[in-house]
Amino acid sequence: MKPVHLLKNGDRLVMLMGVDGNDLYKFPYYLRTYMENNFYKGDLSRISGEKKEEDKNKLFLAKIGNQVVGYIRLAIGTSPMSIHVGEAFLLLDENYRGLGIDKLLVKQLIYWTKETGRIRKINIKVRADDKPEIAFYKRLGFQTEGLLKQELYSDGIFFDAEMLGLWINPPAEQSVRRKVKQFGRSPKPMQFVKPAAELSDTVAP
């Protein structure tokens, strides 16, 4: 995917891969939003803790001139059972909305996952009452997978979150042969126990 894009307002947008969590702190809108919506409001010590976690993740920045106007971050699973999954988070400066930057960021992330083959699935949480945002992700191929109660916090209020997912490289259907090889035996056919009423008809008095 090309790194430079001409927006409909004439601005040139440059897409960069962030080096580490320090790149987020060049984004004033991130710091302002963090302090306004963070549950631990005013606790700046938590920012340094989040920065360490962000250093392990993938980060793509959208810049106009020398200003970072948005980013998308992918937190990759760390356990062997979830290392194929990444959870995305997108933030865009409200002064640059409506220019298609959010779409470019999501497409950049999808392109990276397809090119590297490291991630098979992208998840993202959206406020359940934000129907336009949910529709935006669905247009890009995401599907609703569930509802998380009181998962998100903003301006002193807890909100439900809709979980959306996008398969990048769907896993092939596992065959019975593969399962036999994995577990060392063939799966037993399902057995049913007859109700007592039926058994009474078959047993001699």
**Distance of CA 18 to CAs 15, 48, 99, 169, 186, Å?**
9, 17, 22, 24, 48
Give domain 4-185's CATH superfamily.
Gcn5-related N-acetyltransferase (GNAT) (3.40.630.30)
Please give the full DSSP string across 63-97, using - where no structure is assigned: EETTEEEEEEEEEE--STTTTTEEEEEEEE-GGGT
Residue 146: per-residue pLDDT: 96
Confidence of residue 101 (pLDDT cuts 50, 70, 90): very high
| Burial class (CB within 10 angstroms; exposed 0-12, middle 13-18, buried 19+) of 113 | buried
pLDDT at 16 over 50: yes
Residue 35: per-residue pLDDT: 42
Q: What are phi and psi of 18, to 5 degrees?
A: -65, 145
Cα within 13 Å of Cα(200), Cβ side: 3
The first and second tokens of residue 90, run together, are 């997108």
Alpha carbon distance 61, 23 (integer Å): 8
Alpha carbon distance 47, 54 (integer Å): 10
Residue 142: per-residue pLDDT: 97
Confidence of residue 167 (pLDDT cuts 50, 70, 90): very high
Confidence of residue 185 (pLDDT cuts 50, 70, 90): low
pLDDT (mean) for 175-189: 50
Residue 177: per-residue pLDDT: 47
Residue 42: per-residue pLDDT: 44
Pairing of strands 67-76, 58-64: antiparallel
pTM score > 0.75 for this model? no
CB 76 within 8 A of CB 35: no
Residue 12: per-residue pLDDT: 93
Mean pLDDT of the chain: 76
Residue 100: per-residue pLDDT: 94
Alpha carbon distance 17, 23 (integer Å): 10
**Distance of CA 92 to CAs 98, 178, 202, Å?**
10, 45, 71
Where is pLDDT greater, at 17 or 190?
17
Residue spans of the domains in the chain: they are 4-185
Residue 23: per-residue pLDDT: 55
SS3 of residue 104 by DSSP: helix
List Cβ neighbours of 174 (8 Å cut-off, separation of 6 or more).
none
SS3 of residue 109 by DSSP: helix
pLDDT in tens, 47-58: 444 444 444 678
Residue 104: per-residue pLDDT: 95
